[in-house]
Amino acid sequence: MPLNLFIIGPSGCGKSTQAKLIAQKYNLTHLSMGQLLRDEIAAKSGFGDEAKSYLDGGKLVPDDLIFDILISKLNSLNNQNFIIDGFPRVLNQGKYIEYYLKKINQPFSLLIHLSVTFEEINSRRSKKGDEFQDQDRTDNTPEAIKSRQQFYDDAIASIRDYFKSKKLFFDVDGNRPVEPIFEDICTKIDNIK
């Protein structure tokens, strides 16, 4: 059965780490919405120029732009199955991708939410110090981080309600080391296959 997965969680929660492990184990293409945006910015494309001020301010990039970038990437994959990290970040994005996948006869298999407290993220950040700053990231200023965190709780509540009612949502406790989190996610994935 083909598998298309999504993993979301607050910035700095470790979703990319989990997404890479999941992609490797289940042979999926790993896409990171944040990285796709940073690639566009680095390439100085029209999309990138439009997206840059939102990223730098810790604000969500408007849905239209997100869909353009993501859908053109998915088209280029020719139906390879995937895990996308950092998407959907608002309910509208979730409904859109659900509709899109239905249209191309592909399943929306599961949305994984890595639930990590902001205290845990801030403590990980301060422990890692400069190491945490990815070289190509310009949006880890305290203001951008704060803006992302404030927005987060509201958005996740509506995404959770919507996908939980369809049994497509999995909350996993992310305030733990990488391995037990990964194990819990795999158990869940193995149950839907």
Q: Minimum distance from CB of 50 to ligand AMP (Å)?
A: 12
Give the nearer residue to ligand AMP in terms of CB position, either 134 or 183.
Answer: 134
Q: Minimum distance from CB of 1 to ligand AMP (Å)?
A: 26
Strands (DSSP E) found in the chain: 5-8, 29-32, 82-85, 110-115, 169-173
How far apart, in Å, are the Cα atoms of 120 and each of 71, 157, 173?
33, 20, 12
Give the nearer residue to ligand AMP in terms of CB position, either 3 or 37.
Answer: 37
**Quick one: tokens of 101?**
């996948």
Any idea which residue has 């409904």 for tokens? 95
Give the nearer residue to ligand AMP in terms of CB position, either 18 or 93.
Answer: 93
Give the nearer residue to ligand AMP in terms of CB position, either 113 or 148.
Answer: 148
Give the nearer residue to ligand AMP in terms of CB position, either 55 or 83.
Answer: 55
The residue at minimum Cβ distance from ligand AMP is: 34
Q: Minimum distance from CB of 159 to ligand AMP (Å)?
A: 11
- Using an 8 Å Cβ cutoff, are 57 and 30 in contact? no
Tell me how far apart the alpha carbons of residues 21 and 24 are, in angstroms, rounded to a whole number: 5
Q: Minimum distance from CB of 193 to ligand AMP (Å)?
A: 26
Tell me how far the alpha carbon of residue 14 is from its chain's centroid: 10
**Residues 6 or more apart in contact with residue 56 via CB below 8 angstroms:** 138, 139, 144
H/E stretch holding 25? helix 15-26
Q: Minimum distance from CB of 36 to ligand AMP (Å)?
A: 8
Rule CB under 6 A: which residues touch ligand AMP? 11, 33-34, 37, 54-55, 58-61, 66, 86-87, 89, 93, 139, 148
